[in-house]
């Protein structure tokens, strides 16, 4: 039997991102929360999972994937992987940080680069 737990988490927006033409959003749970400001026991750590954001560029068969590793842990970091043809073992690019602004900069730069150059 599944138990339901109610967490006392305030409503949170997702981070605004500039997603360039040609990208499909598969899912977006990249919440506007700064992990560096959370206490270890904060219930919002439940929002930091391995599946935060996934974008797909069909023309180039490139996937951009963002997660938090280790899952739900205050000791974690964001990890961005860019893979071609679902080759998760050999990412084209990889970036890790606990700073969401650096993660956003990395994502937006690579979305633009891929759209502009890689698929042509």
Q: How confident is the model at residue 63 (pLDDT cuts 50, 70, 90)?
A: very high
Q: Residue 92 corresponds to which tokens in the numbers above?
A: 């084209």
How confident is the model over 58-71, as a mean pLDDT? 95
Spatial CB neighbours of 41, under 8 Å, sequence gap ≥ 6? none
Q: How confident is the model at residue 117 (pLDDT cuts 50, 70, 90)?
A: confident
Do 114 and 62 form a contact (C-beta atoms < 8 A)?
yes
Q: Residue 40 corresponds to which tokens in the numbers above?
A: 């270890």
pTM: 0.88
- Strand, coil or helix: what is 35? helix
- The pLDDT assigned to 8 comes to 61
Rounded Cα distance between 13 and 4, Å, is 23
For 3-54, the pLDDT digits (tens) are 666 656 667 899 999 999 999 999 999 999 999 999 999 989 999 999 999 9
């Amino acid at each position: 039997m599944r138990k339901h737990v109610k967490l006392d988490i305030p409503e949170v927006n997702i981070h605004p991102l500039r997603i360039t033409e040609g990208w499909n959003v598969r899912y977006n749970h990249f919440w506007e929360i700064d992990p560096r400001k959370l206490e270890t026991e904060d219930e919002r750590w439940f929002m930091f999972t391995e599946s935060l954001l996934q974008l797909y560029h069909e023309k180039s068969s490139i996937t951009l994937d963002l997660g938090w590793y280790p899952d739900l842990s205050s000791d974690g970091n964001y990890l961005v992987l860019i893979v071609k043809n679902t080759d998760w073992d050999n990412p084209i690019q990889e970036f890790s940080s606990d700073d969401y602004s650096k993660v956003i900069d990395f994502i937006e730069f690579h979305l633009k680069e891929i759209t502009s150059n890689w698929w042509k």
